Chain A
Amino acid sequence: MSTRDFREFIGKLEQEGQLVRFHEEILPEPDVRGVGRGAVDLGPTGPAVLMDNIKGYKGKQLALNVHGSWANYAIMMGMPKNTSLKEMFYELARRWDRYPGEVKRVNNPVCQQNVIRKNINLYEIFPLFRVNPYDGGCYFAKASVVTNDLDEPDEFDKTNVGMYRLQVQGPDTIGLGALPFHDLGMHVRHAEAANRPLPIAICLGVHPMLSVMACTPIAYGKSEYKYAAALDGAPMEIAKALTSDLDIPAGCEYVIEGKVLPRQRFPEAPFGEFPGTYSGGRNQLRIQVEAVTHRNDPILENMYTGRSWSELDTIIGLSTCVPLYQQLRETMPEVTAVNALYQHGLTVIVAVDNKFGHYAKTVAMRLASTPHGVSYCKNIILVDGSVDPFDLVQVMWALSTRVRPAKDVIVIAPTPGHPTEPSSDPKGISGKVIIDATTPAYPDTTGPQYRLVDKVENTEIFRKRIVELQQATGR
């Protein structure tokens, strides 16, 4: 059930009715933005959209919302498109443990079928659009950016594939949004300490599982390629870049190769960021582009981000949940599931049984001190192990009926926060709130004063039968 590359995945989505071809003529701004927003607003079954008639870019292909719905995500996982979130979560967690997957080196990769080295004009090569109206320019919002650690260039597992924002700044230069705590930040630091340009490859339209891993926080020294292979169940095909020794995804649609200029910064931004707010202007890194390569009839993949729910929330959601779940379960096996879908885990719902009174609260404290939890994981909600944390109706029921305000709400502040999170004050400083909606356990003195109504068994077969009967009505 594995997928070879982005092009094959586009075909799978189309076969499953999860991709539409949009041939009507539209303007780059504001229409493409509207298409992206409209597709993701269709919710868990919304399709990817492939456009080919953008005014001024006629014939150039642009895909949006490829990861923008849970149906598309399930197809990527090789599962039925109506698979529940909870089932996908457990399947992703199961595959996570298969790390490392394999990589397979390829010569003459399709991503280099066409090479542009002279007169590069990114605005004319790519069907770009301004993602949000007040962005500082056109961005590549869904690129997998490849860099190496110049101090250890032969360490394959330290090659980083990450999703960072990239603002086109003139025909052949690109602003690069790096942060010190990213793996890219470490590569930049080492290159700038040596005053050396850092080779970089911006890969667009990559294997869908590699896109997922490019925006998943994993430990430095773990390979995104090997994780993507483990999750997909087949080797990731890689090849050498043209202008550097970087390993790039062989089957991707486009590659922009260049160098990060050392020890210089240039105005960049704003950009509509993952919390649904604009980042402020800042001085950032710059890439000097040296070559663009692409497949025949290339498809540019880009992403609409803005107010939640957006494609960014889907692509980043489940792969944020799984590492947190596994880190908690290392010492707290009572944890049954973690829902960290909201703004990259700023709000998290943990399902856990109290093995004794107020135990769940200590699970929240552990979550708050995981590597990701330190700066994210601001609002932590605890529910019983029998509550599905992905079903917000069940979560609201738990909150409504279990929380004793005087005992079950804890505020810890100040703590580290995320600088882009708008309520962070000052930027990068926040706090934690723990809301415990689990059923009390001994020796919690109030004890459970109630008996929950049991779940009804055998609903699965009857639910399926009812669906069949409803479908048979033909309306």
Chain B
Amino acid sequence: MQCARCLADTASVVAHAPDGSGAWEMIYCARCNFSWRTSDEDQYINPARREQIFQYEGLDLETLPTVMPIAPLRK
């Protein structure tokens, strides 16, 4: 399934409404870690409508800042 944020084909359904109502499914992208509910408002989960500033299409995820640097291994 296509991710609503990074547009890669790496999203899948990971949860269902636990009360058995079928009210929604939760979808999660294993690549960029975006997740959304099928019942969420269209403007926030439809790639064509989401604000461009929040989209990851074509973004090399390695270039996101690492604000917590990895400490050197202790010898």
Contacts and interface: CB of A to CB of B under 8 A. Distances in A.
Chain A's interface: helix, strand, loop or mixed, by majority? loop
Interface stretch (A169-177, A382-390, A448-456): A169-177
Interface string B40-75: 110110000011001010000110111111111110
Given A28-B37, A121-B15, A169-B35, A267 B21 contact: no
B41 A30 contact: yes
A121 B26 CA distance: 11
Nearest to A194: B74
Contacts, number: 126
Contact of A130 (B30, B40, B66): B40
Interface in A258-315: 263, 265-268, 270, 278, 280-285
A93 interface: no
A281 B14 CA distance: 22
Contact of B32 (A189, A267, A278): A267
A188 B68 contact: yes
Contacts of A137: 28, 33-36
A270 to B, nearest CB: 7
Contacts of B24: 28, 55-56
A130 B18 CA distance: 17
B15 A171 contact: yes
Contact of B71 (A55, A130, A189, A265): A189
Contacts of B40: 29, 130
Given A138-B35, A180-B69, A283-B66, A55 B17 contact: yes
A280 B51 contact: no
Interface in B1-16: 5, 14-16
A195 interface: yes
B41 A133 contact: yes
A189 B72 CA distance: 9
Contacts of A189: 71
Nearest to B65: A282
Chain B's interface: helix, strand, loop or mixed, by majority? loop
B61 A267 contact: yes
Contact of B67 (A124, A167, A282): A282
The size class of the interface chain A forms with chain B is 35 or more
Contacts of A280: 64-65
Contacts of A194: 73-74
Contacts of B23: 55-56
Contacts of B16: 124
A281 B39 contact: no
A57 B74 CA distance: 46
- The residue in B19, B30, B72 that gathers the most chain A C-beta atoms within 10 A of its C-beta is B19
Given A281-B56, A284-B68, A268 B33 contact: yes
A175 B67 CA distance: 13
A136 B27 CA distance: 12
Contacts of A285: 68
A27 B74 contact: no
Contact of A121 (B14, B56, B68): B14
Given A29-B40, A121-B14, A121-B15, A267 B33 contact: yes
Given A28-B39, A130-B44, A284-B67, 12 more contacts: A28-B37, A30-B41, A56-B24, A136-B5, A171-B15, A179-B67, A193-B73, A263-B70, A265-B66, A267-B31, A267-B32, A282-B67
Interface of B: 5, 14-19, 21, 23-24, 26, 28, 30-37, 39-41, 43-44, 50-51, 54, 56, 61-62, 64-74
